Structure 1
Amino acid sequence: MTEDSSGSAEDGGSSSGASTLGSVDPADISWGIELTPEHPVDRLASLAKRAEDAGFDAAFTSSHYFNRDPWITLSRMADATDEIALGPGVVNPYETHPATLASAVATLDEVSGGRAVCGLGAGDRSTLAALGIDRDRPLRRVLETMQVARDLWAGETVTHDGAVTVEDASLNVDPVDVPVFVGAQGPGMLGMSAAHGDGVLINAAHPRDLAWASDQLDRGREKRAADRDPLRTLAFASTSVAETEAAAREAARPPVAFIAGGAAEPVLDRHDIDHEAAAAVSDALERGALTDAFEHVTPGMIDAFCVAGTVETVTDRYRVILEHVDGIVVGSPLGPDIGAAIERAATALSAASPN
């Protein structure tokens, strides 16, 4: 793929044309779950099976250098399950070259029997900073990575020189068709995902943010090719569900710290969160002082960035969330008891979902 022959990256040109879908149809994903590889791989495989049995359609595994390798984890999850779709949620094109990323996803599709999905995003700014990586041109990198991956999955030899670079690259695997869900929060990434993605993972747990995101997606849909399938919209909602409200909220502190620490000022303003309080969280994360960062999380941050509480509380919030999106990915931490939280979250999703 070259920008001269297949359209500019801004236009989303790709020599493979409109993407076609293989074994995983984004329209079939309504209940997703994030299984963070902070636990032993065998346990995660068991949890993936538990999620499949509870009725989840897809399991996503986050990608951070300080956790276990997501690809090895996903491979074990594939061995332990039969039907649930599996993929990174999300992987970024900074730590991993787009061609290497495409190869990993294609391999996952092969070992899972066609169950791969690809959650692709710009990555967490503070985590990348810890590796000395400057998250430059995030929108173009994600868009061009999606284009390069699709062409490689189609069996093409790809040359591309832009925010990402490949020259005469190809994969020694059978062609695959893998849906790409773009992880998005800001207006540019949301608009791009609506124009070019198969689906979007909206990094939000509050209806106020999702209502705003819906407007950005509508603008992006105006640029979507007419022959593309409808965009599948999923709220990637940090969730902590437990027997008591207090236990659920305490378990929510770690993921909320990462969300609040990377939140843009307009997002903070939308929830009346003090900028200095958020900066304190962000500074601690960049220093690697995780405990300090978690202690700086305020009740208002938990309210804004996590669905935290009992099954009844979570059901009520999910019901409102589903007024704005097609489905929900139950994001980490899930709850203080992860195994029990899988069933509790499934109960909440079932009660909140339209009949």
Structure 2
Amino acid sequence: MSEDATWAIELTPEHPPDRIADLAARAEAVGFDAAFASSHYFNRDPFVVLSRMADATDDLRLGPGVVNPYETHPVKLAAQTATIDEVSDGRAVFGVGAGDRSSLSNLGVERDRPLRRVLETFDLARDLWNGETVTHEGTFTARDASLNLDPAGEIPVYVGAQGPHMLRMSAKHADGVLINAAHPRDLEWAAGELEEGLRERPDDAGDFESLAFASVSVAGDEEAAREAARPPVAFIVGGAADPVLERHDIDREAANEVSEALERGDLNEAFGRVTPEMIDAFCIAGTTETVAERFEAALEHVDGIVVGSPLGPDLEDAIERASEALAAATDGEND
């Protein structure tokens, strides 16, 4: 376990920006270090929400968690993240990944060459943040691009990752990784992949931080917490690779039924097809005590935890309970 585990939280802009800003302030007050605003085309814009979160907080690190370089051009993502860094006085982080395949398919977007595109995106962003004028021909094109603003400081890059190649690439090139997993079995496997990437990491690349971007649902009532976990678990299952499903003995046909319902846009059917086994594999769900035990098990393999969607059936209560669970799992080291 890390001696100083990072406490982070994902806030999903399915609610008005002012409410998300209030939740960010609450999270900061109970000890969280960072907050990510998730990015899905059907929710509010994460960068607008992050701006409100910056106004409502003083020290919380803030960033998208995660944006993808398919819906938005990488140069634009770099500018948006630099803007958050400016309005937050240097607290921005850049959470970037390949995006959710089923959501992108709804927009007619093909997720081609994801590893290369993500790497090229944050390489280019770093050059732009350093004040360079960039021309790039690769998985996307940029010609004589530059930014008319300077970030307040170094903006760390966190790559959203689940598969082996993205995990290794993040360890080799990024500042951190957001591992799309909640179960110790997956996190232990991911740690092994990260070790391979770290062996190839340049000596001057600086520190690297691994965070479990874990779906969490915590409440006073176990069944209420598990029921609230259905929507995020559906999206996780919908994008899960065969080896991940096999690791948890999840039936491929059952997972396909969830995925196909998501791609049709039939969310209620997708959520209804989530099984108890899927919740156990892909979410940390239950009472404060149950969640604390799962956090402690996860922290054997990572440097910190992002308490991810859905948080719980009552968001304000869930933030308090998640903080209590993290304190119990880390012996109160962030108190």
- In the aligned structure 2, how far is the partner of 1:174 from the partner of 1:205? 36
Tell me what 2:219 maps to.
242
1:25-174 paired onto structure 2 within 5 Å: 30-174=6-150
Change (3 A) 1:29 1:59: farther
Any conservation in 2 of the 1:29–1:58 contact (CA below 8 Å)? no
Q: Which one-letter code corresponds to 2:273 in the other structure?
A: H
Residue 229 (structure 1) shift: 1.8
- SS where residue 246 of structure 1 aligns? helix
Tell me what 1:203 maps to.
180
Residue 227 (structure 1) shift: 1.6
Residue 230 (structure 1) shift: 2.3
The answer to whether 1:188 aligns with 2:165 is yes
- SS where residue 333 of structure 1 aligns? strand
Superposition CA RMSD, Å: 1.1
Any conservation in 1 of the 2:212–2:302 contact (CA below 8 Å)? yes
Deviations 1:317-353 (A, max 9, x none): 0001000000000000000000000000000001001
Tell me what 2:243 maps to.
266
Deviations 1:61-107 (A, max 9, x none): 11001000111100011111111010000000000100000000000
Tell me what 2:258 maps to.
281
The answer to whether 1:315 aligns with 2:315 is no
Q: Which one-letter code corresponds to 1:202 in the other structure?
A: I
Q: Which one-letter code corresponds to 2:168 in the other structure?
A: G
Aligned-residue identity in percent: 70
Q: Which one-letter code corresponds to 1:145 in the other structure?
A: T
Residue 29 (structure 1) shift: 7.0
Picking from 324, 338, 354, the partner of 2:301 is: 324
Any conservation in 1 of the 2:5–2:330 contact (CA below 8 Å)? no
- The TM-score normalised by the length of structure 2 is 0.97
Residue 174 (structure 1) shift: 1.7
Any conservation in 2 of the 1:191–1:216 contact (CA below 8 Å)? yes
- In the aligned structure 1, how far is the partner of 2:219 from the partner of 2:31? 19
Tell me what 1:19 maps to.
none
- In the aligned structure 2, how far is the partner of 1:160 from the partner of 1:223? 25
Any conservation in 2 of the 1:141–1:163 contact (CA below 8 Å)? yes
The answer to whether 1:336 aligns with 2:313 is yes
Deviations 1:230-281 (A, max 9, x none): 2101000100000011000000000000001110000000000000100000
- In the aligned structure 1, how far is the partner of 2:59 from the partner of 2:150? 21
- SS where residue 140 of structure 1 aligns? helix
Q: Which one-letter code corresponds to 1:250 in the other structure?
A: E
- In the aligned structure 1, how far is the partner of 2:37 from the partner of 2:134? 28
Figure out how many residues of one structure are paired with residues of the other and give that number.
329
Any conservation in 1 of the 2:11–2:20 contact (CA below 8 Å)? yes
Residue 138 (structure 1) shift: 0.3
Moved over 3 A (4+): none
Any conservation in 2 of the 1:28–1:57 contact (CA below 8 Å)? no
- In the aligned structure 1, how far is the partner of 2:45 from the partner of 2:263? 21
- SS where residue 204 of structure 2 aligns? coil
Any conservation in 1 of the 2:171–2:177 contact (CA below 8 Å)? yes
- SS where residue 174 of structure 1 aligns? coil
Residue 160 (structure 1) shift: 1.1
- SS where residue 41 of structure 2 aligns? coil
- In the aligned structure 1, how far is the partner of 2:114 from the partner of 2:313? 33
- In the aligned structure 1, how far is the partner of 2:200 from the partner of 2:107? 35
Picking from 266, 269, 279, the partner of 1:292 is: 269
- In the aligned structure 1, how far is the partner of 2:150 from the partner of 2:163? 35
- The TM-score normalised by the length of structure 1 is 0.91
Structure 2: stretches of 5+ with no match in the other structure: none
- In the aligned structure 1, how far is the partner of 2:44 from the partner of 2:16? 8
Tell me what 1:224 maps to.
201
- In the aligned structure 1, how far is the partner of 2:168 from the partner of 2:266? 34
- In the aligned structure 1, how far is the partner of 2:126 from the partner of 2:29? 31
Any conservation in 2 of the 1:261–1:281 contact (CA below 8 Å)? yes
Tell me what 2:210 maps to.
233
Residue 28 (structure 1) shift: 7.8
Any conservation in 2 of the 1:29–1:57 contact (CA below 8 Å)? no
